[in-house]
Chains A and B, each alone.
Chain A
Amino acid sequence: MLACLCAVLWHLPAVPALNRTGDPGPGPSIQKTYDLTRYLEHQLRSLAGTYLNYLGPPFNEPDFNPPRLGAETLPRATVNLEVWRSLNDRLRLTQNYEAYSHLLCYLRGLNRQAATAELRRSLAHFCTSLQGLLGSIAGVMAALGYPLPQPLPGTEPTWTPGPAHSDFLQKMDDFWLLKELQTWLWRSAKDFNRLKKKMQPPAAAVTLHLEAHGF
Chain B
Amino acid sequence: MSQEDPAGENYRTTVKRNRVLHWSWESKLPLECAAHFIRMRSMVDDARIPKPGFWSNWSSWEEADAQNSLGHDPLFVFPKDKLVEEGSNVTICYVSRIHQDNISCYLEGVQIYGERLDRSVSAFELKNVSFIRKKGTNVFCKVDQGGALGGIVLFVSKVLEEPKDFSCETQDLKTLTCTWDPGSDTGLSKQPSQSYTLFESFSGKKTLCKHRNWCNWQVAQDSQETYNFTLVAENYLRKRSVSILFNLTQRVHPMTPYNLFPKNVRATNATMTWKVHSIGNNSTLLCRLELLAEGKVIQQHNVSIKVNGEYLLSELEPDTEYVARVRCAYTNHFWKWSELISQKFNTAEAAPSEAPDVWRNMKMVSGHPTVSLFWKPLSKVHANGKILFYNVIVENLDKPSRLEVLSIPAPARSTELTLDQCSYQIHVTAHNNVGPSPASVIVISGDPGNEEVESGRVNGTEDGFSVSWKPQSGDATGYVVEWCDGPQDLPCVLQWKNLGPNTTSTVISSGAFRPGVRYNFRIYEISAKRMAHLLEKKAGYLEELAPSDNPQVVMSNLTSHSFTLSWKDYSTESQPGFIQGYHVYLKPKAGEQCPPAFEKTVLPEDSVCCKHTIDNPEQKTFVVENLQPESIYEFFVTPYTSVGEGPLDAFTKITTPDEYSHILIRIILPMIFCVLIVMIICYLKRQWLKEKCYPDIPDPYKSSVLSLIKSKENPHLTIMNVNDCVPDAIEVINKPEGSKIQFLGTRKSLTETEFTKPACIYLLPTEKNYSGPGPCICFENFTYNQAASDFASCGHFPVTPQAPPHQLGPLTSPENLLKALEQNYMNSLGEIPAGEANLNYVSQLASPTSGDKDSLPTNPPEPALCSEYKMQMAIPLGLASAPPSENSSLSSATLLGQGEHYR
Contact = CB atoms under 8 A, between A and B. Distances in A.
B138 A58 contact: yes
Interface in A86-127: 113, 115
A50 interface: no
Interface string B141-173: 000000111111101000000000000000000
Contact of A167 (B81, B108, B133, B148): B81
A44 B77 CA distance: 31
Given A166-B80, A166-B81, A171-B138, A58 B152 contact: no
A167 B150 CA distance: 12
Given A166-B80, A167-B190, A56 B148 contact: no
A168 interface: yes
A56 B149 contact: no
Interface stretch (A19-27, A59-67, A148-156, A207-215): A59-67
B791 interface: no
A57 interface: yes
B56 interface: no
Contacts of A84: none
Interface in A176-213: none
Contacts of B132: 56
A9 interface: no
A56 B135 contact: yes
B109 interface: yes
B109 A58 contact: yes
Nearest to B106: A58
Contacts of B134: 115
A56 B81 contact: no
Nearest to A67: B147
Looking at chain A's contact residues, the main secondary structure is loop
A54 B138 CA distance: 11
A57 B147 contact: no
B140 interface: yes
B140 A58 contact: yes
A57 B133 contact: no
B245 to A, nearest CB: 39
Given A67-B148, A166-B80, A168-B151, A54 B133 contact: yes
Contacts of B189: 113, 115, 167
B636 to A, nearest CB: 66
Contact of B136 (A58, A61, A67, A167): A167
Given A58-B106, A58-B140, A115-B189, A168 B152 contact: yes
A55 interface: yes
B155 to A, nearest CB: 8
Interface residues of A, number: 17
Contacts of B152: 166-168
Contact of B153 (A61, A66, A167): A167
Nearest to A168: B151
B137 interface: yes
Given A57-B108, A58-B106, A66-B149, A168 B138 contact: yes
Contact of B149 (A55, A57, A67, A115): A67
Interface string A41-56: 0000000000000111
Nearest to A61: B109
B135 A115 contact: yes
A170 B383 CA distance: 78
Nearest to B71: A164
A126 B138 CA distance: 26
A166 B109 contact: no
A170 to B, nearest CB: 8
A168 B140 CA distance: 9
A150 to B, nearest CB: 36
B38 to A, nearest CB: 27
Contact of A55 (B81, B135, B148): B135
- B134, B137, B149 interface centre (most CB from chain A within 10 Å): B149
A115 B133 CA distance: 10
Contacts of A167: 80-81, 136, 152-153, 155, 189-190
Interface string B40-84: 000000000000000000000000000000000000010011000
Contacts of A54: 133, 135
B190 A56 contact: no
B371 to A, nearest CB: 71
Nearest to B151: A168
Contacts of B190: 167
A67 B146 CA distance: 10
Contact of A168 (B106, B148, B153): B153
Interface of A: 54-59, 61, 66-67, 69, 113, 115, 166-168, 171-172
18 contacts: A54-B133, A55-B135, A56-B132, A57-B106, A57-B108, A57-B138, A58-B106, A58-B109, A67-B147, A115-B134, A166-B152, A166-B153, A167-B81, A167-B136, A167-B152, A167-B155, A167-B190, A171-B138
Given A58-B109, A167-B155, 11 more contacts: A54-B135, A55-B135, A61-B109, A66-B149, A115-B134, A115-B135, A166-B80, A166-B81, A168-B153, A171-B135, A171-B138
Lowest 8 CB-CB distances: which A-B pairs, in order? A57-B109, A167-B153, A168-B151, A167-B81, A115-B134, A67-B147, A166-B80, A56-B138
